[in-house]
Structure 1
Amino acid sequence: MKLYTHVLEGWVHPSDVFIALHGGDSNAFWLDREFNLDNRFSVIGGASVLHTELERSDLARVLNGLQFDDETQLPFDFRPGLVGVLGYESDQDAWMLVDRALVFDHDRRHIHFIGAFDDDAEFDHFLNAALLRLALVGGEQASYRLRHADGRSSNSTLRHSADTYLSLIERAQHFIGLGDVYQLCLTNQISIETTLDPLLTYLRLREHNPAPYAAFLRLGSRSVVCASPEQFLLAHVGGTVSTKPIKGTRPRGANDAEDRAIALDLRADQKERAENLMIVDLMRNDLGRVCEVGSVDVPKLFEIETYATVHQLVSTVVGKLLPEASVFDAVESAFPGGSMTGAPKLRAIEIIGELEAGPRGVYSGAVGFIASNGAAELGMTIRTIVFENGRATIGVGGGITIDSVPEAELEETKLKAKALLLALGAEDPWLVT
């Protein structure tokens, strides 16, 4: 096989294209980067096969089965490969093996057709069919919203009530006081009965809460609606890797002056800085196991990133993979992301298993692509809704330290759930539980 590409110097919004080309597909994805300042390329595609029972050690073997000649020079790293999710628990993993996709350049407003095909005739057939369908696209999003407007959400319930969550924070602080961990990411889960259409929910969410690592994935009977602000792992061709842990969250202000004051307060908060630094050190260690000696660095520490509903305290850790290390080694070394476990990681994971009353599922895992050329872009599955079997689940949590005020930590989980509950039209579970 050979990699074929074609550039359409015209523009149709990815939302309309996704609905037109993949709106009814069982397995489809939209990696939405319209609001990502570091990556101007969104990717849309589908797949005929969904892998849900692969061991993680088999992912490289499956990807290596997609062999093709690639002599193209493209302005993005995406190539045919794996697209899907890593669950916090491995039985939640789901991967599509993708051999063709559309890549949207939001800056130049071009659409790249890309795929691995056996010959020119096969590519021409794909391209002509796609171009014909694109020529007919118009107003798909508005029409889709009307057709799927009758869904409803009800019966919002919490895994841990407010009182229980407060007591779990105190137990986490007990472990911290004993010296077992320095910081622990404690989470809760909201479960909601719903007949809402998952894609409609995603369209609502991206409208009110745009995010840099947003995604919509339909994975058989399960759909993942993600408005993640956090990068888990970015790998470029050539072996450069990075991760951008988030620790520290504040709500947006009511006006510009208040908003600036809140952001400055977040950046100066010693508790938040200490928590962020703990995770930076953890991720430096994780990447250091698979990177060249001396290559791991922290080019940005305690940066404020501002989104529609919150300010976040973000740091960046980078490194250069060892010659013998692959992107899969980097994923294995860094997963799950330290911002969603705590430090030290292994003991934190053990305590999480003791304190939290059920599995996290897709939440606090990763979502994105791992390409055949060694590139990858994986966001953390936070600010995420998972639809399955008539229910929507939302994970929320935060990092606990010895200085944490339990009531403030509880309020932070409510803040993180706010935009997701709004997209679902769901009642506040803390008011009904």
Structure 2
Amino acid sequence: MKTPQNISDFKQKALQWANQFEVCCFLDSNNYKDAYSAYDFIIAAGANAELKSGAGNAFDELKSFHSQHQQWIFGFFSYDLKNEIEDLQSNHPDGLNFADLYFFVPKHLIAFKDGKAEVLLGNLSVLGEIESYSIEDKKPSKAIQISQRLSKDQYIHKVEALRSHIIKGDIYEVNFCQEFFAEDAEIDPVQTFEALNQVSPTPFAGYFKIYGNYILSATPERFLCKRGSKLTSQPIKGTARRSIDQAEDEAIKLQLRNDIKEQAENVMIVDLVRHDLTKSAVKGSVKVDELFGIYSFPQVHQMISTISCDLNPEVHFIDAIKNAFPMGSMTGAPKVKAMKLIEEYEVTKRGIYSGSFGCISPNGDFDFNVVIRSILYNAESSYLSFQVGGAITYQSDAVLEYEECLLKASAILKVLGG
């Protein structure tokens, strides 16, 4: 254990140090107090063993990988693993080319809690290496030319078409997303992530480098975590802007808390998550710990609910992840029909967007986020992408939904100079 003199300095050095490796993962709670998080931040660097898999048998391969290594593993689940779980497909263009599933056992693992750094894997000398690491001077970043895959009119037309499916009774709610992208984009991933994390610090932020592929995430959402025998999911549904005027900001927050439309969106997803957890739960143990909690982040207020259950000892913890995947907040209800309509109306493959990344401990505890508010980057092809979306319900106003998308994209656009 070591107590660094300057925590933010240590964090910055640790990320730059980790980025020397072909593979690294940095998970940061940004000092948000959270009853379920084991650490304030954690850094995994270098790979002693790796699993890369396509949809088909990926979850079973992950089970074998974890039991073989019995060690900390870090990785991600792409949204398109839905094709393994249900009879679905993904045929849209994909400029990023992430694997469907990737996990690694780190060579070095440093965890930080209550002002102290601890080496969980690797040599203790690494803390000294990080402390003495010299931070590179920041190069002035060039503004990136961002394009939208859908025009405003196209987006509105598609939302109206999805509302007609709701009116017909095909679905109650669907999460519809659009892509913002840049070709020939040159960014410094660490610098870009640091800028994003500064503009928009969130409790499930993270930096994930897998060779030339990068996830730079300012996500506020937890998909699923396991502590002992307890599973907890915290879906977000309901968004409102912030104001620099304190009185107005409080009024906006109160308005979100009492907004019938936002509550309807949220409760539909709470019901969906309850249903998903039931597949893995001890009978009768699924409960809603908090309904319509309002949490504030730098750009937005969010409505977040918390649902938990006791994991049935006969269900493997990785099957519990599979049973809840993809997360209801990014699909809709009923889930399978919503995912079919997502494939029909969206024009870009989601890939890692609206998937999840995080870590699994040697004893099978885990914590995974939802990949939203995230810049995705393929350094080899110089392709950069981020997607934003929202829940479409019967009450949705297509123009307001479009404006909400831009609000969610605001931090990323600011960082990229758009």
What TM-score, normalized by structure 2, do the two folds share? Answer: 0.89
> Aligned ranges for residues 14-413 of structure 1 at < 5 Å?
14-38=10-34, 39=37, 40-48=39-47, 49-53=49-53, 55-67=58-70, 80-90=71-81, 91-98=99-106, 100-105=108-113, 108-115=114-121, 126-128=123-125, 130-137=126-133, 140=134, 143-144=135-136, 146-147=137-138, 149-193=139-183, 194-237=185-228, 239-388=229-378, 389-413=381-405
Deviation of 1:332 after TM superposition, in Å, equals 0.4
Letter paired with 1:390: S
Do the aligned residues in 2 keep the contact of 1:20 with 1:133 (CA within 8 Å)? no
Match for 1:9: what amino acid? T
The secondary structure found in structure 2 opposite 1:351 is helix
**2:271 aligned counterpart, secondary structure:** helix
Contact residue 216 and residue 224 of structure 1 kept, 8 A: yes
CA distance in 1, matches of 2:175, 2:199: 26
SS at match of 1:65: helix
Match of 1:9 among 3, 23, 44: 3
Structure 2 SS opposite 1:127: coil
Question: Equivalents in 1 of 2:46, 2:26: separation in Å?
Answer: 12
- 1 CA distance for matches of 2:152 and 2:105? 41
1:113 maps to a residue whose letter is V
Give the CA RMSD over aligned residues.
Answer: 1.6
What is the Cα deviation at residue 20 of structure 1? 5.0
Q: State how far apart, in whole Å, the 2-side matches of 1:386 and 1:259 are.
A: 31
Q: Which has the larger radius of gyration?
A: 1
Please tell me whether the aligned partners of residues 243 and 318 of structure 1 are also in contact (alpha carbons under 8 angstroms).
yes
* Alpha-carbon shift at residue 391 of structure 1 (Å): 1.9
How far did 1:208 drift? Answer: 1.0
Give me the whole-angstrom Cα distance separating, in 2, the residues matched to 1:369 and 1:135: 25
Q: Which runs of 5+ in 2 are unaligned?
A: 82-98
Q: Percent identity?
A: 31
Aligned residues: 389
Counterpart in the other structure of 2:93? none
C-alpha separation between the residues in 1 aligned to 2:186 and 2:11?
21
- Aligned partners of 1:280, 1:97: CA distance in 2, in Å? 33
Q: Deviations over 1:388-429 (max 9, x none)?
A: 02121001000000110110000000000010111122x2xx
Q: Is the 8 A contact 1:153 1:192 kept in 2?
A: no
Whole-angstrom distance in 2 between the partners of 1:26 and 1:192:
24
The residue aligned with 2:84 is: none
C-alpha separation in 2, matches of 1:83 and 1:218: 11
Counterpart Cα distance in 1 of 2:303 and 2:177: 19
* Alpha-carbon separation, structure 1, partners of 2:31 and 2:416: 21
Contact 2:144 2:416 in 1 (8 A): no
- Report the CA distance between 1:362 and its aligned residue: 1.0
Q: 1:66 to 1:412 in 2, by over 3 A?
A: same
Query: What do the CA deviations read for 1:186-205 (whole angstroms, capped 9, x no partner)?
Result: 00011023211111011001
Q: Could you say which residue in structure 1 is the equivalent of 2:86?
A: none
When the two structures are superposed, what TM-score results if normalisation uses the length of structure 1?
Answer: 0.86
Measure, in 2, the Cα distance between the counterparts of 1:240 and 1:259. 35
- AA paired with 1:394? F
Provide the secondary structure at the position in 2 that maps to 1:299.
strand
Q: Which amino acid aligns with 1:405?
A: D
Q: Which residue of 2 aligns with 1:120?
A: none
Aligned residue in 1 for 2:409: 417
